[in-house]
Copies of this chain bind each other. A is one copy, B any other.
Amino acid sequence: MSSAYVTLEQVAQHAGVSLATASRVINGSTRQVSQRLSDKVKASAQELGYLANASAQTLARNSSSLVGLLVHDIADPYFSSIARGITRHTEEQGLVTVLGTTYRSAQKESTILAALRAHRAKAIVLVGSRSTDEDSNTTLVREIEAFQQQGGRVACVSQPGLPADTVSPDNHAGATELARHLIAQGHRRFAILAGPTNLSTARERLDGFHSALSAAGLELQHHNIVHGDFTRDGGYESTQRLLRLGSDATCLFAVNDVMATGAMAALREAGIRVPEELSVAGFDDIPTLRDLTPSLTTVRLPLEQMGEHAAQMALDHEHEGEFRTVHVQGEILIRESTRPPAL
């Protein structure tokens, strides 16, 4: 056989029309084609099982149906929830989602961005707060702009400050509200399980918490701050460190639920009861972690919708050329893990 594939030319021949006519029918060009021929072409395509060669289309159109999705770790429920929202939208649009995982490596990120550029992806959604490291950030901006110059759209989730559409949770407000709740419950000595200092999400949540304390005339003591890496095990280890330092806090704010989970495990092992002896709060309201005992006081973010919204922005054609920023407010959820401190 000459080719294992059915080509548009074969469809055209089978329908007795020219290649161009067949193409016009298949992808509904502006030019009119008579009903009779149009039907004939469609029937032909159906009959022969025609499936357009995507690479040929991409080559001719200089744009593919691929949408890139960059996350740090797809097994982290924070990212997989957002990813779900993104894929929901892209698949609805008949597009194909490319999943790239970076593990917070600027180099892996570059590799994937280059691949998406090479494939003439239609859009890219970047998820997850980014290192504020100067160099890698300017590199990222250059790559984003290169992609945009070849006609691609970019949207970011939780990654402010880039030349792209952005969906960001109001981390500051969420953490502030959470702090106010703890203060209202009577807590005066706080410990915080902060995130990597160079990630905006981590910084904003820390700042928000801080500013509520300051506003209430309270202080966060230096030895009551530890930094984790946003993972469960990081939270576990950092909490152990905190305990070794002999914290006198009555409550612990972990800047994300995943670390809070590790914190609770460490506390349980250390024989410290939550919330009787220590209140714990998290951030995100990760769906998979809603069944912890005690249930976690946290700030709910609509992760899935955030992803969906970002994908929408990256793919709608209304607002070419402008960058929109959407702020999402979290909703504070008071659950079992926080209560007024024992006297």
Among B119, B291, B304, point to the contact of A54 (Cβ < 8 A): B119
Q: Chain B contacts of A149 at CB under 8 A? A: 4
Q: Are A291 and B288 in contact (CB under 8 A)?
A: no
Partner of A80, one of B77, B118, B150, B262: B77
Are A265 and B291 CB-contacts (below 8 A) given A55-B55, A55-B64, A118-B53?
Answer: yes
What per-residue 1/0 map shows which CB atoms of A102-118 lie under 8 Å from chain B? 00000010011011111
User: Chain A 100-144, CB within 8 Å of chain B: the 1/0 string?
Assistant: 110000001001101111111000000000000000000000000
Which residue of B54, B77, B84, B101 is within 8 Å of A91 (Cβ)? B101
A17-25, A29-37, A67-75, A166-174: which one contacts chain B?
A: A67-75
State the Cβ distance, A118 to closest chain B Cβ, in Å: 4
Alpha-carbon gap, A264 to B290, bound state (A):
12
Query: Is residue A51 contacting chain B, with contact meaning CB distance below 8 A?
Result: yes
Residues from chain B with Cβ under 8 Å of A287 in the complex: 75, 232
Given the complex of chains A and B, what is the CA–CA distance between A119 and B57 in angstroms? 10
Q: Is A221 an interface residue (CB 8 A)?
A: no
Is the beta-carbon distance between B83 and A74 smaller than 8 angstroms? Answer: yes
* A55-B59, A99-B87, A291-B265 as given contacts; A75 in contact with B80, CB under 8 Å: yes
Is A13 part of the binding interface, using a Cβ–Cβ cutoff of 8 Å?
no
The reply to whether A81 and B91 form a contact with Cβ atoms under 8 Å apart is no
B residues in contact with A272, CB < 8 Å: none
Per DSSP, are chain A's interface residues mostly helix, strand or loop, or mixed?
A: helix
Is A99 within 8 A of B101, CB to CB? no
Task: Determine the distance from Cα of A55 to Cα of B61 in the docked complex, in whole angstroms.
Answer: 11
A292: which B residues are within 8 A, CB to CB? 291-293
**Contact across chains for A120 and B55 when beta carbons are under 8 A apart:** yes
By beta carbon, the residue of chain B nearest A108 is B91
Q: How many copies does the complex hold?
A: 2
Please report the total number of A residues contacting B with Cβ < 8 Å: 58
- A184 at the binding interface (Cβ < 8 Å): no
Given A96-B98, A289-B288: A150 in contact with B4 (beta carbons within 8 A): yes
Contact A291 B264 (CB under 8 A): yes
When distances are taken between beta carbons in the complex, the residues of chain B under 8 Å from A66 are 98
Q: Which residues of B sit under 8 angstroms from A261, Cβ to Cβ?
A: 291
Contact yes or no, B119 A96, CB < 8 A: yes
Q: How far is the CA of A52 from the CA of B58 in the complex (A)?
A: 14
Q: Which of B91, B100, B101, B268 contacts A100 (CB 8 A)?
A: B91
A239-270: CB near B (< 8 Å → 1, else 0) gives 00000000000000000000001101100100
When distances are taken between beta carbons in the complex, the residues of chain B under 8 Å from A291 are 232, 261-262, 264-265, 289, 292
A323 adjacent to chain B (CB < 8 Å)? no
Distance (whole angstroms) from the CB of A111 to the closest CB of chain B: 8
Taken together as a complex, chains A and B put the C-alpha atoms of A3 and B33 apart, in Å, by 32
Q: Which 8 A-B pairs have the closest CB atoms?
A: A55-B58, A293-B293, A99-B99, A75-B84, A54-B118, A80-B80, A55-B55, A54-B119
Q: A77-B77, A262-B291 are in contact. List 17 more A-B contacts (CB 8 A).
A: A51-B117, A53-B118, A53-B120, A54-B120, A55-B56, A55-B64, A66-B98, A69-B99, A73-B84, A74-B80, A75-B81, A87-B99, A91-B101, A94-B111, A96-B100, A232-B287, A292-B292
